[in-house]
Chain A
């Protein structure tokens, strides 16, 4: 009887513990960011000055917020035609067979490659190509990072899409075919309107991934503290700024980096929440 009770408490306790972990993460970031917030207020978000010189210390997050958003949205745009094709390929055109299962394995493996390995490949294989094309003197920058990010998020952007596309009711498609529609027209008039919001939710979740990516971007973006002037310019993201500067940071710089972490947490949280919301509407 007693062990039964303990077991039930254990079950609920595990849930409570996870809630505490999450609240703890939020509280920790908030508390850590307080000194920086006291110093800079909301100006922290729209100030573009990142100056660690002692005595004239001033920190603002704008270049990194912009860098993060530009890199990840550009990555999403690059990934779109590929992820969409994969979703259609696996969800509609070739559902079963050797080729699709091969493609599925490839995509699973892409998801398994560590970020730092993507970064290495970007540095040694992709960067020289960017330089040869004359897009950027050293081959670093937002564009280079976005290409690598785009490859990294293909699995996340395509998996939900292929799932919802395969769930489009056959009767709808058959009705369109019986009216003489070609497959392309079925895709355009039946599948996309039906599965569109699910496909979109997948892209939003992939965007959340891209925003939080650290290592590959750190190795490729060039780590400048200015607001980037174009997609071939150098830049920096919130995640790679933390990765680069957290180690030796103290005092005001340290709490500013924690505040950047808090902002990053909030941005990814909101993006993921929107994605989940769309998914929920879908299943309801």
Chain B
């Protein structure tokens, strides 16, 4: 009798120990996963802060010779990433101009026809587009725009590639948000004699604006850091270029150029730091909007 209780006690202790070890392992591994983020942030700040000054924002990227001289004299490299900032603003802006209206209207269509057959097809295709690798969209931008339309690398081609990339997140967030808005709201408007399109555009869409805005901002933050598709489309430019039919620079493209030029290596950290801060601000504001103006009924 006595020995059997001892054995079962030992068994229980072993089970409890196993449970404890497992819990600690989970906590340890979960927090170990957050270490890379801080390592990356630390590396960027440590190596990048020196280069960030006022001229960083209004001067274009330096050429190799300038940079070499500066590095030799142990000075910071003159110049900035103005061509990249302007390029990113134009390319991302153009992509948004294409993707936001189309994405919102399509999201509205899907929310209104949640059971339709064709809507099912569209939903499937939006899901599929979400998974297309960005480099493949770069190839598409090259074949659709660079070759036939602009006759050479262009910011527009980059915008087209990126617009396809941000489309799915806008469509899905619009659809999900509008689905949460109760039918009574729509019925009330319709019963007052408001036409369908006005009901949708003036009543339903504004009540879901926070969710839609969150999707749009997340879409923008997803494409702002994209490098691969722009390598095949926008190519890069040493000067500030506002002509969308000409090659254009972008911040991630500049990071790539700096990386490939030994003299400019010191610039990669500041450019990356700036890009990362930009994207973090976009992500945090998307989160804040989602939290503050949550759709509630």
Residues in A lying within 8 Å of B, measured CB to CB: 3-4, 6-8, 10-12, 14-15, 17-19, 21-22, 24-25, 28-29, 32, 81-86, 88-90, 93, 103, 106-110, 112-121, 123-125, 151, 154, 158, 182-185, 187, 205, 208, 211-215, 218-219, 239, 242-243, 246-247, 257-258, 261, 264-265, 268-269, 271-273, 276
- B209 contacts chain A at the CB level, 8 A cutoff: no
Indicate if the CB atoms of A151 and B36 lie closer than 8 Å.
Answer: yes
Q: Which residues of A contact B30 (CB under 8 A)?
A: 82, 85-86, 88-90, 103
- B33 contacts chain A at the CB level, 8 A cutoff: yes
Centre residue among B34, B133, B196, B279 by max chain A CB count within 10 A = B133
Overall SS of chain A's interface: helix
- B57 contacts chain A at the CB level, 8 A cutoff: no
- Contact check: which of B106, B109, B135 meets A261 at CB < 8 Å? B135
In the bound assembly, the distance between CA atoms of A189 and B138 in angstroms comes to 46
Indicate if the CB atoms of A22 and B135 lie closer than 8 Å.
Answer: no
Known: A116-B225, A184-B19. A15 touches B135 (CB 8 A): no
Known: A15-B119, A276-B127. A108 touches B33 (CB 8 A): no
- B134 contacts chain A at the CB level, 8 A cutoff: yes
Indicate if the CB atoms of A215 and B228 lie closer than 8 Å.
Answer: yes
In the bound assembly, the distance between CA atoms of A240 and B243 in angstroms comes to 29
Indicate if the CB atoms of A114 and B105 lie closer than 8 Å.
Answer: no
Known: A15-B122, A114-B275, A125-B39. A85 touches B33 (CB 8 A): yes
Indicate if the CB atoms of A112 and B280 lie closer than 8 Å.
Answer: yes
What are 25 A-B residue pairs whose CB atoms fall within 8 Å in the complex? A7-B201, A15-B119, A18-B106, A19-B122, A21-B164, A28-B140, A28-B144, A32-B143, A85-B25, A93-B26, A103-B34, A112-B283, A113-B276, A114-B225, A116-B252, A120-B268, A120-B269, A121-B39, A182-B15, A185-B19, A242-B138, A246-B232, A247-B235, A258-B139, A276-B127
- 10 nearest A-B residue pairs (beta carbon): A114-B225, A212-B133, A7-B197, A85-B29, A272-B131, A214-B228, A182-B19, A14-B106, A89-B30, A184-B19
Indicate if the CB atoms of A115 and B280 lie closer than 8 Å.
Answer: no
How far apart are B98's CB and chain A's nearest CB, in angstroms? 10
- Contact check: which of A82, A84, A120, A214 meets B272 at CB < 8 Å? A120
Q: Which residues of A contact B269 (CB under 8 A)?
A: 120
Residue of A nearest to B125 (CB): A22
How many Cβ-Cβ contacts under 8 Å join chain A to chain B?
Answer: 244
Number of B positions contacting A (CB below 8 A): 83
Residues in B lying within 8 Å of A, measured CB to CB: 15-16, 18-19, 22-23, 25-34, 36-37, 39-40, 43-44, 102, 105-106, 108-110, 112, 118-119, 121-122, 125-140, 142-144, 164, 167, 171, 195-197, 200-201, 221, 224-228, 231-232, 235, 252, 255-256, 259, 268-269, 272, 275-276, 279-280, 282-283, 287
Overall SS of chain B's interface: helix
Indicate if the CB atoms of A18 and B112 lie closer than 8 Å.
Answer: no
Q: Which residues of B contact A219 (CB under 8 A)?
A: 259
Indicate if the CB atoms of A112 and B131 lie closer than 8 Å.
Answer: no
Indicate if the CB atoms of B29 and A82 lie closer than 8 Å.
Answer: yes
In the bound assembly, the distance between CA atoms of A118 and B43 in angstroms comes to 11
Indicate if the CB atoms of A28 and B136 lie closer than 8 Å.
Answer: no
Q: Which residues of A contact B144 (CB under 8 A)?
A: 24, 28
In the bound assembly, the distance between CA atoms of A108 and B224 in angstroms comes to 16
Indicate if the CB atoms of A212 and B135 lie closer than 8 Å.
Answer: yes
